[in-house]
C-alpha cells in the first residue's frame, strides 16, 4: 500500500496537471505564409557523344512565393504541448545553362551553347513539434521546435538537344527538356507565434518559422542535384480554440 501511494505521489510530481483555468486544450491554425528569400542550386551532367562527353552546367533560382500554412496544437500539460503542421509552397523556378558538345570530326574542339530554363519548384512539408506556450492578457505566445519531412519536386534539365550544319563548327539549341526531380528528405524546423484572442473561441495570429532539409533530386541517370529545401517563412491567419 505504501509503495502504491509513493508511486502515485511521484507520478503527480513528474507530470504536471493542467490548471483549471487553462484557456484551451486544442488550437487550430488556418492561414497562409510567405517563403522569404530565394533558393539557388546548380546541376551538372554529361553524356557520351562522338567518342567524347557532352557536358551541361545549369544554375537555378527558386523565387519567393506565398503558400499555405495550417496546423493543430494540443496542450498536453500546463505550458507544454505538441503540434502538427503542414506547409505548401509552389515557387517559380528560373535558370540558365551552358553546354559543351564534342566536334564530330576533331577531338578536343567542343562547340558551346547557352540557354534558359523555366519551371516550378514545389515544397510540401509536415512538421511535428514540441511547443512551449504561455498567456499574457488576450495574447497567446508560443515557441516550438521539431522534425520536418519534406517532399520536394523541381523541374530540372534532363538533356539538351541541338542542330548542326556542315562544317559543324557551331551548334544551335533546339530544345532543353526538363523532368521532375524528386526527394523526400528529413529536416527540422523552429518557430514562434503571437495570437490575439477576440473571444473564447476565435483569434488571429502571426508566426515565423525556419525550416531546413537537404534534398537530393534524382532524375533518370543524371547525377543527383542537391537543394536546400525550406528557409525562413512568415505568415498568419485564423485561430480556433477548443
Question: How far does CA 125 lie from the centroid of its chain?
Answer: 6
- CATH number of the domain located at residue range(s) 23-241 in this protein: 2.40.160.20
pLDDT tens digit string along 112-161?
A: 999 999 999 999 999 999 999 999 999 999 999 999 999 999 999 999 99
Residues 121-137: b if buried by 16+ CB within 10 A, e if exposed = bbbbbebebebebeeee
pTM of the predicted protein model: 0.85
pLDDT tens digit string along 178-205?
A: 999 999 999 999 999 999 999 999 999 9
H/E stretch holding 3: helix 2-14
User: Where do the domains of the chain lie?
Assistant: 23-241
Kindly report the CA angle at 233 between 227 and 238, in degrees rounded to 5? 140
Amino acid at each position: 500500500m505504501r509503495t502504491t501511494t509513493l508511486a502515485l505521489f511521484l507520478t503527480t510530481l513528474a507530470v504536471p496537471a493542467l490548471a483549471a483555468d487553462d484557456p484551451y486544450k486544442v488550437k487550430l491554425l488556418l492561414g497562409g505564409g510567405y517563403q522569404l528569400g530565394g533558393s539557388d542550386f546548380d546541376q551538372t551532367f554529361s553524356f557520351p557523344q562522338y567518342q567524347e562527353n557532352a557536358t551541361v552546367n545549369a544554375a537555378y533560382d527558386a523565387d519567393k512565393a506565398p503558400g499555405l500554412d495550417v496546423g493543430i496544437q494540443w496542450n498536453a500539460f500546463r505550458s507544454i504541448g505538441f503540434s502538427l503542421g503542414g506547409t505548401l509552397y509552389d515557387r517559380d523556378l528560373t535558370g540558365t545553362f551552358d553546354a559543351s558538345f564534342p566536334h564530330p570530326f576533331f577531338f578536343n574542339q567542343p562547340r558551346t551553347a547557352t540557354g534558359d530554363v523555366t519551371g516550378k519548384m514545389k515544397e510540401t512539408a509536415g512538421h511535428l513539434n514540441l511547443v512551449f506556450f504561455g498567456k499574457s492578457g488576450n495574447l497567446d505566445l508560443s515557441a516550438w521546435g521539431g522534425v520536418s519531412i519534406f517532399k520536394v519536386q523541381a523541374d530540372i534539365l534532363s538533356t539538351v538537344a541541338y542542330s548542326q550544319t556542315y562544317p559543324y563548327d557551331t551548334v544551335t539549341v533546339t530544345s532543353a527538356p526538363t523532368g521532375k526531380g524528386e526527394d523526400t528528405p528529413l529536416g527540422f524546423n523552429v518557430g514562434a507565434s503571437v495570437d490575439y484572442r477576440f473571444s473564447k473561441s476565435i483569434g488571429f495570429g502571426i508566426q515565423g518559422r525556419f525550416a531546413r532539409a537537404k534534398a537530393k533530386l534524382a532524375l533518370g541517370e543524371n547525377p543527383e542535384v542537391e537543394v536546400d529545401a525550406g528557409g525562413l517563412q512568415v505568415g498568419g491567419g485564423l485561430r480556433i480554440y477548443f
